[in-house]
Amino acid sequence: MLTIFANLRINSETRLQHLKDSFRSFSVISDNWLVNIRGALRKETLDFLKKNLGPKGVYFELLDDSRGWTKNALEMVSQAKYSHLLVWNEDHFNLASPKVYQELAENLKESDTDYMQYSWWNFGKLRLFFESFPLNHFERLDTIELTKDIWLELKKKGHSDHLISLNGIYKKEFFIKLLKKDQEKIPFVGSSLHHFAERFLKIFGITSGREKYFHWVNQKLFKNRLSRFSKETPFNLERDPSYSDILPFKLALPQQELFACIDDDAGMQPGYQLIKRGLYPLEPFLKIRHRRTSPQDNQSKQFQFDRGFRQNLPRFYEDVLRTEALLIQTLEVTEGSLSISAQNQKIELKSGEAVDLYTNLSYQIEAHEKTTAVLNLPSLKNKKIIHPET
């Protein structure tokens, strides 16, 4: 089995809902959960986890963020029961079966893997550049001894992903090694570092890309010892492509998509997140509402259907990297009757009734008689339209 490491800050209802959905997607894969919850919704989150985990949870009250995420993590990891631990991020959702994780845990232990990224699969691109190198094959993963020379060659080939992502399964000793290295870094001192990098590189005519400034100065002048993020966050654990301080280590590559982010593309291939794929929310919102027909404007479309007519409604979503809120459209029946279905849900609408629908999910309408309906849309500015599924 795997130990689940959950050192999380939950400050919003959206994050709490994501956590609940994420938890339910993989809750059965472990009997050892290390839990430290901070933030405004700490009590509500703990109530949910304690109710659902029971004796499988080990709970910490490390609430002083000034100690730093790393110091708190080191205290928590001492309670890890298994050789490998999965660092849980509440906005990532599991797509694989429990059997897959049972076999993964066995493969990780057998191969003595140090680290495996479990999310940001990016439609298979996660492992694309590695497949030109000799790999050791196991049932659920492949491994490679990742050296500095191989890492440099990967970057030359165009690989630009992180060396280490927070969304990882770590060998316990390797995780502790990373945390201790983080403690050796120069503390984060805010945007002044970026401004210093800008001014310094401007001398050499380099004038674009603030992140590039920081990484260049950090690597050349400080040997990557500057903390990029404040110590209250977990992100200093990650290693962007410019790092090589923890090489060599044994890297594992999953053979299938395991987790995916609910609401963020994060520079991946467009449409990567689950919301844009139409896989989240987990259940369509189908509830009859009674209302007067909205005035017709350029955000409303009127339809007329003959009896027996069927059609899938077009899906669309906001064309941004991170989805902050789900878009909702309203279907109102002004004359006649129809049914609307999604997944295993179905409702009947008659004249004067309406239903609110998430625009990123798939719905099918069927007219029972000659029917007129109005589809009221949110603003289509910056929206990505997806043609109806057939």
pLDDT over 70, % of the chain: 84
CB 243 within 8 A of CB 147: no
Of 255, 235, 231, residue with least CA distance to 243: 235
Taking residues 202-218, report their average pLDDT.
61
Region 51-72: mean pLDDT is 89
pLDDT of residue 39: 92
Q: What residue has token string 């459209």? A: 329
CA atoms of 200 and 359, how far apart (whole Å): 48
Average pLDDT over residues 344-354: 93
Strands (E), 20-79: 33-38, 57-59
| Main-chain dihedrals φ then ψ at residue 340, nearest 5 degrees | -130, 135
Mean pLDDT across the stretch 35-46? 96
**How does pLDDT run across 235-259, given as a tens digit for each residue?**
678 888 877 788 999 999 999 999 9
Inter-residue contact 114 to 251 (CB < 8 Å): yes
Position 92 scores a pLDDT of 97
**pLDDT above 50: residue 54:** yes
Superfamily classification of domain 283-386: Jelly Rolls (2.60.120.10)
> What's the CA dihedral at 24, 30, 33, 37 to 10 degrees?
-20
Residue with tokens 């906001």: 318
Q: How confident is the model at residue 10 (pLDDT cuts 50, 70, 90)?
A: very high
Least confident stretch, 8-17, 89-98, 159-168, 200-209 = 200-209
CATH number at 3-185+241-275: 3.90.550
Tell me the domain boundaries of the chain: 3-185+241-275, 189-225, 283-386
